[in-house]
Amino acid sequence: MMAKWRQQVTKWLVEKLDLPADAMMDLPRITMIGQLHIYIENHRGVMAFSREELKLRLKQGHLVIKGQDFVIKTILPEEILLEGTIEGVYYDKST
């Protein structure tokens, strides 16, 4: 009950005060440059990595990036820069 109320208040603050939704609602911020680079902020850690797939833990579910020749160029606690040929970015809400 309290979590739902908090989520509604946060959503209202984002809308009314024009605050960034990604920061206030703990959402990932994803920046892609063509199919070559993807920069993801506000993730909760790497679940799996290979040359064809990166799976990141999110607050709710996880994010899957699929492609070829992946190389992690930068990795920080809540940020990651991935290079390669990106073929798809998918949200999976299951836990």
Give me the CATH number covering residue 76: 2.60.40.2000
**Number of domains into which the chain is organized:** 1
- What is residue 76's three-state secondary structure? strand
Q: How high is the pLDDT of residue 26?
A: 72
Residue 12 falls within a domain, yes or no? Answer: no
User: Would you say residue 67 lies in a domain?
Assistant: yes
Lowest mean pLDDT among 15-19, 30-34, 50-54: 15-19
In a domain, 8, yes or no: no
String of DSSP letters for 8-75? HHHHHHHHHHT--HHHHTT--EEEEETTTEEEEES---EEEE-SSEEEEE-SSSEEEEEEEEEEEEEE
Domain for residue 69, yes or no?
A: yes
Tell me, yes or no, whether 6 lies in a domain.
no
Instruction: Judge whether residue 24 has pLDDT over 60.
Output: no
Task: Output 55 or 27, whichever has higher pLDDT.
Answer: 55
Is the residue at 70 inside a domain?
yes
pLDDT digits (tens, 9 = 90+) for 28-38: 899 999 999 99
Domain that holds residue 32: 25-92
User: Is 56 part of a structural domain of the chain?
Assistant: yes
Closest CA to 81 of 22, 58, 49, 90: 49
Gap between the Cα atoms of 21 and 43, Å rounded = 14
